[in-house]
Structure 1
Amino acid sequence: MFHVGHERSPLPPARPGATAQSAPSAPSAPEAVRTGQGSGAGGAKQRDAFFDNAKFLAIALVVVGHAWRPVIDDSRAVLAAYNFVYAFHMPAFIIVSGYFSRSFDMRPGRVRRLVTGVLVPYLIFETAYSLFRKAADSPDHPVSLLDPWYLTWFLIALFVWRLTTPLWKTLRRPLPIALGIALLASASPDIGNDLDLQRVLQLLPFFVLGLCLRPEHFERVRQRGARLLSVPVAAAALVFAYWSGPRMNFEWFYHNSSGQELGVPWWIGVAMNLAMFACSLVLSACFFAWVPRRHMWFTALGAGTLYAYLLHGFLVQASRIFGWYDAFPWITTPAGIVVLTIGAAALAAVLCSSPVRRTFRFAMEPRMDWLFKRDAAEAARQRTGGPAGSAGTAESAESAGAARTAETAGSR
């Protein structure tokens, strides 16, 4: 059903004497959704509310899931909710990342934005997290840019996935190939920890699926029938999560270990990963079905999910290292878990806010014009008043949107 399409290049600017019939039309729906923007009054750009809502809700689930982790041994209900959320929030993030990577190619402008929007934040925060851990409780913890620690794995994974985008766009059936690679990785315990390659390969099919999706696919899951069907499906998944919680190793949801490393034969690891791929797809569809399409109070926060993703990890690690949960035993009570959940969601909202984004923009979205050569073709288009400025804005929003989906993925 899915295939990778090749998008047409932007139309040239209209000639001064062109008639109305020959003038370029407004962006089509697929193009507007691809960049996360559409035409507004006076030519202003407007972000797509659906994807901003999806990104914020997903990052809120990430923060809540990390807040739940220390108490899952004290409550079977929290363990069930934890497993349920981890079954889809990471795949949903990666699907959106792939969707916003569909137009990526090796043009200099897009490579620059990939470096400054993904690779540089990875280098900064991998170093910062490692130094934080060395200072907090592990003086011997190495600072290694090849062995991602904690949340930073998603950035290096996104960097690798996006670099391979042109390859996937040339294949006739990219999704089955990506799934085959993921299943082979799940049966290969000797892959090692460099670049967290086990997780990069196991989660690759979700990124490739995002590359294959089109706006009409998201429209299908948001139809009334799909939304109604998603309710009993999600309820059944929650019941199953409650039943299987004590019987299942929740480390399957991290996708960073082979089957043998989790104590099962290789073929069970392959079967388990295939089943989890199907489960994650279904629950991701249920999630997208209920994401609001209209502008909500939290819609604007969807532009800052990368900030919440990378910054909340310091608080999560501090809570575990310094025993904050042990200092408040009531947190394991039902009322305490409710307070914990609301507080974690509120923290996600704060970390996505404009003041936080302005403060940390130097690390998340650095301007590094000094590092790159000037693109002569783009400079020429800007001098002649061509569409380079608006195209550059759209591409920048697209790259930033993909990076900010990191928002979303869980880790130990």
Structure 2
Amino acid sequence: MSVATPLRAVLPPASARDPFFDNAKFLAITLVVSGHLIEDLRDVPAAHAAYFFVYTFHMPLFIVLSGYLSRNFTFSSGKARKLISTLAVPYVIFELIYSLPRLILYGKLDISLLDPYYLTWFLMSLFLWRLSTPVWQQLRWPLVIAVGLSLLSGMSRLPDELSMNRTLGLLPFYVLGLMLRPEHFEWLRRRWVRVAGAVTLAAGAVLAFAIHTSVKTEWIRWRHANDVIGVDDLTGSLIRLGMLAAGALLVAAFLAITPSRRTWYSGLGMATMYAYLLHGLVVKVAERFYGDWSQTLPGVVAVALFGVGLAALLCTAPVRRVTRWAVEPSMSWAFTRLRRPA
């Protein structure tokens, strides 16, 4: 889902960590993994509705947490190096890794580091959002400006380079995270808010099942301009504003029902960047084995449950040890020594 990302936060030692955020990250990454696994099963109405519902808020959730955990970002040398080693270098590595299946299966090697492929768009966008952090912290109405930029981005066919549509379209969620304070999360833990959160998520799921066939899924992907989706700019702006509001509401509801105590998966929530970056490889392989059995409601449920198990597995210590070179590469050799202040 380092302070550079909600999926891997640089926080105090485990004993001092607030398990609430680790719980939220793990629960969210299970939605991401399961959502990607059922993406090719959307001919089943329940799968299409679940996909629509989850995609309305699962990446906004990560982005909000990203902004919250990035509040202290500066251009100091230490944090700049962390930005490079936790986002820029893994981005390059996984751009290359995800190009290998296309090379093996189709004999096509197509690499463009400025045009993110598949899951890597999030690393690119997060890199750019974090660089902009000091700017947003100087503005008087940052969220209003971010929403305005999001709506304006839908009025133009922005280039695919730097994942511009998603970077600008989802920007308000990052800025919202920057504006949050610990007391806001404490408020979400009140009993009546938790109950309201559960009701809101249930109502959102029911609504998603009711309207999923009449709303184009491109609205939840934030990839294209209004005219590409087939609407004028006024209609598109109103829909985008509604999607921003719905995403923020569902993020708050999800966080409200997230356990604040330490759970069996709290430790896994400390390493969800591994699940995020690695699960795409499994998804690409699994999709080739889908058959008639998967095009049924029991099949969709089985695939979704497999996603939960896969997310947990990819966060475990053995997987981390084997893949740390790609997800958390050691880059100390590439930097000069940090100078201690006099």
Q: Which runs of 5+ in 2 are unaligned?
A: 1-8
| Identical-pair percentage | 46
User: What are the within-5 Å matches in structure 2 for residues 11-410 of structure 1?
Assistant: 36-37=11-12, 45-73=15-43, 75-137=44-106, 139-189=107-157, 191-320=158-287, 323-326=288-291, 329-377=292-340
Using the TM superposition, give the Cα deviation of residue 45 of structure 1 relative to its aligned residue in structure 2, in angstroms.
4.8
Farther-moved stretch of structure 1 (230-239 vs 245-254): 230-239
Corresponding letter in the other structure for 1:252: W
Cα RMSD for the two superposed structures: 1.5
Contact 2:226–2:232 under 8 Å retained in 1: yes
Corresponding letter in the other structure for 1:121: P
TM-score by length of 1: 0.78
Using the TM superposition, give the Cα deviation of residue 131 of structure 1 relative to its aligned residue in structure 2, in angstroms.
2.5
Aligned length: 334
Farther-moved stretch of structure 1 (239-248 vs 304-313): 239-248
TM-score by length of 2: 0.94
Using the TM superposition, give the Cα deviation of residue 35 of structure 1 relative to its aligned residue in structure 2, in angstroms.
5.9
Contact 1:99–1:213 under 8 Å retained in 2: yes
Cα distance in structure 1, aligned partners of 2:334 and 2:299:
49
Corresponding letter in the other structure for 1:236: A
Cα distance in structure 2, aligned partners of 1:126 and 1:169:
31
Cα distance in structure 2, aligned partners of 1:232 and 1:373:
53
Cα distance in structure 1, aligned partners of 2:63 and 2:150:
14
Using the TM superposition, give the Cα deviation of residue 358 of structure 1 relative to its aligned residue in structure 2, in angstroms.
1.1
Name the SS for the 1:264 alignment partner: coil
Corresponding letter in the other structure for 2:12: Q
Cα distance in structure 2, aligned partners of 1:231 and 1:355:
35
Cα distance in structure 2, aligned partners of 1:174 and 1:285:
19
Q: Which runs of 5+ in 1 are unaligned?
A: 1-33, 39-43, 381-412
Corresponding letter in the other structure for 2:280: G
Cα distance in structure 1, aligned partners of 2:233 and 2:105:
38
Q: Provide the residue aligned with 1:8 in structure 2.
A: none
Contact 2:154–2:224 under 8 Å retained in 1: yes
Name the SS for the 1:298 alignment partner: coil
Corresponding letter in the other structure for 1:105: T
